[in-house]
Amino acid sequence: MTLQPARSQSAHDAAPIATVGSEPITETIIVQADQAAFDQLRWELEAQQHQLQFKYEKARHDLLKRQLDQRLDEAAVADEAKARGVSSEAVLGDPKAGAPTDEEVRAFYDRNRDRIREPYEQMAPKMREYLADQRKQTAAREFYDALRAKHGIKSFLGPFRIAVAATGPARGPATAPITIVEFADFQCPYCKRAESSLHVLLDQYPDKVRLVFRNLPLTQIHPQAQGAAEAAVCADRQGKFWEMHDAMYADQASLAPDALKDTAQRLGLDVGQFSACLSGGAPVATLGSDAKAAQELGLSGTPYFFINGRPLDGNVPLEKFQSIIAEELRANGSDRG
């Protein structure tokens, strides 16, 4: 799938994505205000051979949101300055955000211990700086959002999403308002580190989050990943996917064929049936479907998550998952009760 030619204006492009008072702001207005930036984005992606529409559309959406937010924030400040009879500079100020406490830094470290993997004393200054920056950004965003609400400035531009089939073994109720589709590799150390965050989310939102697992073995760098993925599929045939999943992540040094058969026996699988599944090529269709989906999405690394279609790449902090989930729950009204 290659990048399409530059899009012409359509009814979709002409629909307002924000309003400043009674003035509508369309996507076309934002793009044309800095056409060079959008063109540059396109050429850079093409030069890097990012040929998939998904990557282009996500990058384009991110740029559009940044430009739109800047325009709306400036309009909100200008309206507030006019209402007060002062300059825009007088409206602006350094957002007031308290410094993180030692207890908060320690709690952040404990929540993300599996992905930080460095001593607390060594990482404490960087974590403190990170948390302080996050607080400052949150305070600034709340300041601008309050001004927007006060002056009737609205954005209708939602988060970027892409349709991803939630096909595969799942944890959590099928009726959950939040579905996380994970593409992962059983030999990937970052996937293992993400496990602690996923367990926290499932415990924190038992009725509101569903996790769906899809295989993406990175065979060029993880020679045992393919065999582990096949073992997971064969375990699933006996209703033991998550037991095998958890066991393989718990001991990534035991992914060789004989070790996997030992694990299957320990988990109570029919080892003869398990071995026949592996040697008979039964997992090929399932893994092929996951591989095709990953290829169409342009995924080349793991872990990769889609939260209600919103992409999230890599070994990210638990707080990032929680922030997106909170936004999704507020958006669909599931944050109550």
Nearest to 113 by CA among 329, 331, 315, 310: 315
Gap between the terminal Cα atoms of the chain: 43
Written as one letter, the residue type at 287 is: L
Whether the predicted pLDDT of 31 surpasses 90: no
CB 242 within 8 A of CB 198: no
CB 64 within 8 A of CB 74: no
pLDDT at 45: 66
Written as one letter, the residue type at 223 is: P
Angle between helices 318-331 and 102-111 (to 10 degrees): 90
Beta partners for 212? 170, 181
Whether the predicted pLDDT of 10 surpasses 60: no
pLDDT at 95: 60
CB 229 within 8 A of CB 200: no
Q: Mean pLDDT check: name the lowest of 1-5, 128-132, 228-232, 309-313.
A: 1-5
Q: Report strand pairing: 153-155 vs 304-307.
A: unpaired
pLDDT at 94: 57
**Rg of the chain (C-alpha set):** 24
DSSP letter, residue 100:
P
Whether the predicted pLDDT of 3 surpasses 60: no
Confidence of residue 51 (pLDDT cuts 50, 70, 90): very low
Whether the predicted pLDDT of 183 surpasses 80: yes
Q: For residues 39-51, give the mean pLDDT.
A: 60
Q: What are phi and psi of 269, to 5 degrees?
A: -80, 160
Q: CA–CA distance from 230 to each of 176, 241, 299 (Å)? A: 28, 11, 20
Q: Catalogue the E-assigned strands of the chain.
A: 16-20, 23-26, 153-155, 170-171, 178-184, 209-215, 304-307, 310-313
Nearest to 307 by CA among 209, 214, 197: 209
How many whole angstroms separate alpha carbon 76 and alpha carbon 91?
10
Q: Report strand pairing: 153-155 vs 209-215.
A: unpaired
How many whole angstroms separate alpha carbon 74 and alpha carbon 201?
36
Confidence of residue 5 (pLDDT cuts 50, 70, 90): very low
pLDDT over 90 for what percent of the chain? 66
How many whole angstroms separate alpha carbon 223 and alpha carbon 147?
54
CB 46 within 8 A of CB 57: no
Q: Mean pLDDT check: name the lowest of 111-115, 178-182, 279-283.
A: 111-115
How many whole angstroms separate alpha carbon 158 and alpha carbon 254?
44
Mean pLDDT for the chain overall: 89
Confidence of residue 6 (pLDDT cuts 50, 70, 90): very low
pLDDT single digits (tens) 135-159: 888 889 999 999 999 999 999 999 9
CB 69 within 8 A of CB 154: no
Angle among Cα 44, 37, 161 to the nearest 5 degrees reads 75
pLDDT single digits (tens) 75-124: 999 999 999 999 999 998 756 778 889 999 998 888 887 777 789 999 99
Q: For residues 295-319, give the mean pLDDT.
A: 91
pLDDT single digits (tens) 240-258: 999 999 999 999 999 999 9
Whether the predicted pLDDT of 200 surpasses 60: yes
* Ordered DSSP codes for 209-235: EEEEEEE---TTT-TTHHHHHHHHHHH
Confidence of residue 38 (pLDDT cuts 50, 70, 90): confident
Q: For residues 42-56, give the mean pLDDT.
A: 63
pLDDT at 13: 65
DSSP letter, residue 256:
S
Q: For residues 280-291, give the mean pLDDT.
A: 86
